């Protein structure tokens, strides 16, 4: 026990032992460009369902068994909606989510509690072969519309400071930082601080 604790403390000295992240908020009421004006014309978000998920599994080696199971568990879930990203040519390109009320983030070991009109944009990925074509930016724009249609007013997202691509996608919808987060990896602890301008 003691030895394990000492090892963990030692691991704190390793570079990358603390991840720096930010929680951002953004307004959902502003309209995104629609149709052809979206970042990836012809692309679509399809609410997760067994048939399309199985097709994605058969055609996308990057979809791990763990992620397949997680997406399958989310079919029809009340507080989280999973979407499969379909590229303009009809191929499956990734997935993304909108969460409501409460999201238990097991990866970053913290719980995000959402107010009545807040939606969390979470668990986004575009498969490598489909990257850098605007699909993630499209998924953010389209989810913004979908959340707004559900009566939501504010979007929230947590992004690692090193994730340039994700920050760039969300910048298009006017994110502003609201909280600093530090994930202490050896202890799997998330420390949250209010955002203060330097
Ligand atoms: C982050 C991720 C979703 C981006 O997907 P994508 O479809 O390639 O993103 P887009 O094509 O919409 O590009 C979005 C912006 O990021 C920029 N970008 C994309 N990849 C980049 C990279 N590797 N380095 C720097 N910038 C990058 C694009 O130029 C674009 O910026 P712009 O709109 O200002 O021109 C994808 O890289 C991914 O799945 N990463 C692993 C999982 C992950 O990080 N998820 C996000 C968690 S919040």
Domain segments of the chain as ranges: 17-194
| pLDDT tens track for 48-61 | 999 999 999 999 99
User: What is the atom index within ligand 1 of the atom nearest the CA of 127?
Assistant: 39
- Give dist(CA 102, CA 114) in Å, integer: 6
Q: How confident is the model at residue 197 (pLDDT cuts 50, 70, 90)?
A: low
For ligand 1, whether the C-beta of 40 sits within 6 Å is no
Contacts of 1 (CB under 8 A, 6+ apart): none
Work out the mean pLDDT of the chain and round it to a whole number: 93
Q: How far is the CA of 30 from the CAs of 34, 144, 148, 183, 188, in angstroms? A: 12, 9, 9, 32, 37
In the predicted model, is pLDDT for residue 12 greater than 90? Answer: no
pLDDT, tens digit, 9 for 90 and up, residues 21-42: 999 999 998 776 656 578 899 9
On the 0-12 / 13-18 / 19+ scale of CB atoms within 10 A, 126 is buried
- Mutate which of 167, 168, 173, 177 to test ligand 1's pocket (most atoms within 8 Å of Cβ)? 168
* pLDDT tens digits, one per residue of 123-142: 999 999 999 999 999 999 99
Tabulate helix, strand, coil % of the chain (nearest 5). 30, 35, 35
DSSP string, 100-112: ESEEEETTTTEEE
Q: Is residue 165 within 6 Å of ligand 1 at its C-beta?
A: yes
CATH 3.40.1160.10 fits 17-194, yes or no: no
pLDDT above 60 (res 198): no
Say whether pLDDT at 194 is over 80.
Answer: yes
- Nearest atom (ligand 1) to Cα of 133: 11
Residue 108's Cα: distance from chain center in Å?
Answer: 12
DSSP-derived secondary structure letter, 31: P
Quote the pLDDT of residue 124.
Answer: 97
pLDDT for position 78: 94
Q: What are phi and psi of 23, to 5 degrees?
A: -95, 135
């Amino acid at each position: 026990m003691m030895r394990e604790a000492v090892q963990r403390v030692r691991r704190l000295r390793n570079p990358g032992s603390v991840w720096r992240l930010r929680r951002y908020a953004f307004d959902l009421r502003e309209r995104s460009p629609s149709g052809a004006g979206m970042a990836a014309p012809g692309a679509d978000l399809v609410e997760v369902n067994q048939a399309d998920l199985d097709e994605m599994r058969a055609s996308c080696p990057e979809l791990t068994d763990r992620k397949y199971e997680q997406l399958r568990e989310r079919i029809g879930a009340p507080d989280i909606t999973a979407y499969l990203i379909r590229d303009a040519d009809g191929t499956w390109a990734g997935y993304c989510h909108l969460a409501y009320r409460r999201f238990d983030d097991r990866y970053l070991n913290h719980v995000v509690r959402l107010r009545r009109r807040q939606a969390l944009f979470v668990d986004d990925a575009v498969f490598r072969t489909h990257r850098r074509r605007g699909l993630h930016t499209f998924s953010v724009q389209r989810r913004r519309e979908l959340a707004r249609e559900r009566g939501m007013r504010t979007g929230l997202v947590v992004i690692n400071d090193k994730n340039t691509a994700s920050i760039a996608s969300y910048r298009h919808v006017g994110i502003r930082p609201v909280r600093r987060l530090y994930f202490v990896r050896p202890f799997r602890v998330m420390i949250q601080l209010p955002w203060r301008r330097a």
